Structure 1
């Protein structure tokens, strides 16, 4: 009568380890979508941090009454028709004047959506001194001035700099052939304003280069941000800057890793402020440790207007950079 009992126990002893192994496999193979770096969790973490950033934003009264530019002082007034040479000269600030540049100082007025502000301006000569950042390095055997590319030319980066194949192109300053006082649209703390600027006509470019004319003493600096004390949650990335604002559409550049995937813009929109950032999936393999600027488009529920756009990581207001 005991033999049948032994026969029943033995199969159970064989089955139990298999059940335990199956249970262990189920644990280690759990769905990663339920983990702390899943998209839903990253979105929730973004919303929590965006709330902290928005509530910490407390600019001074000058933010609403002064002149706080949210883009650089050198602005392209349209499509310049860059070539590799002329773009290099523009980015480096290489210029030479072929006309007299007046040293006379004048006053000017900024037109905001909510009012006007009269401020002192720098002279055209002072603006040109700020614009001109020196001369390029010597380029033996190169033409004496930059111009349009020669057909058949290719430009590639080499170990010692730029290497050309085909006819050579120039690496010298842009030529200033005229200057006049005008206005350009500028993103400010009070929305887009019309700001006085010295417009420099450049022989090699299709449109003038503008240098904002407001005296440095009249410019209110961007306030220091108050960032949350803890690091940015895993799977979230910071917004680096803006490249365009068109009504309710923002073009933002996110700082992502070289091997990140699933790059998704995230936004928290409030009546007085907009907080932006992004979500990524990190690579599990070997990857170069480098920052890549990834442009993304965000569409708001309402036009941006005068609301600042804050980075979810640092809490800093984003500035517009030239593309």
Structure 2
């Protein structure tokens, strides 16, 4: 395993206004019909401005990250922390064998260069957990030397049991394919599947070489802020046929959170409506999941954010 990377955690902040903005005529948060009409007007502009080049329909444009879980891993707090941080340790040799592969889209196939399992593991492994004195490296094991003691307000006292600091243990690796949300719909993408002792499902690392990945095009949003009472979508939590679960970025004191969707033949635009607080409120961004149901399955249509005009990606688990 490599040396641990420095993790910098910053709070997500957003300016939450409590009065109409300068984005044109104010849309009263208490007037849902006006708010919905303002959303529809902007969504139509966003859809009209969406003009990706030919690679959107002919290349490989992934709309989710390169590390994929297929099925329920049955996370514990420790294993989820290790997964999100990229803490792994291998207990088996990781072969450098190269294989060929192709991506299977709903509308065709694309042959692509792949990375070998050893390279995929190097991309997956982000280092070791921080040292945890007095705590076991594996879950379920007692701390060495008996209970951990810590100074408290009245001197030394026995602490409550703690969970383990651990890295995820790789016990096997196989080559396969996993479903990935792309610009051409859900595709079966070559991947290296790492069997993890502590998880109920393998961790898949997509095997497509970076030279074969087309980046997501830059959005072309209307050059003005959102009307008051409308909020942006941050990402997609789930796509299930015609049902979309979207995470909206809302203020800490916003109420009346309502999903809004505009559906066209070539794109879907999503956002939300809220009622703003009139009092003092912390400037904190909250991610609020909401579900919308389309009139037809999403298919290969992009889901665009009403604020930025860009396509939304599947959020990391």
TM-score using structure 2 length:
0.85
How far apart in 2 are the matches of 1:254 and 1:148?
Answer: 41
* Alignment partner, residue 27 of structure 2: 36
SS across alignment from 2:216:
coil
**Are 1:309 and 2:303 counterparts?**
yes
C-alpha deviation, 1:90, in angstroms: 0.3
**Are 1:132 and 2:125 counterparts?**
yes
Is the contact made by 1:143 and 1:168 (CA closer than 8 Å) also made in structure 2?
no
**Are 1:214 and 2:208 counterparts?**
yes
Within the candidate set 309, 313, 316, 1:319 is matched to 313
**Are 1:285 and 2:279 counterparts?**
yes
C-alpha deviation, 1:172, in angstroms: 1.9
Within the candidate set 89, 93, 117, 2:86 is matched to 93
How far apart in 1 are the matches of 2:32 and 2:315?
Answer: 30
Larger radius of gyration: 1
Q: CA RMSD in A?
A: 1.7
How far apart in 2 are the matches of 1:228 and 1:165?
Answer: 56
How far apart in 1 are the matches of 2:302 and 2:182?
Answer: 9
Is the contact made by 1:83 and 1:149 (CA closer than 8 Å) also made in structure 2?
no
Over 3 Å counting, the alpha-carbon distance change for 1:206 and 1:177 in structure 2 is same
**Are 1:109 and 2:99 counterparts?**
no
Q: Which 5+ residue runs of structure 1 have no aligned equivalent?
A: 1-34, 151-163
C-alpha deviation, 1:149, in angstroms: 12
* Structure 1 residues 259-274: aligned runs within 5 Å: 259-274=253-268
- Aligned residues between the structures: 276
C-alpha deviation, 1:168, in angstroms: 2.7
* Alignment partner, residue 56 of structure 1: 49
Q: Which 5+ residue runs of structure 2 have no aligned equivalent?
A: 1-25, 144-157
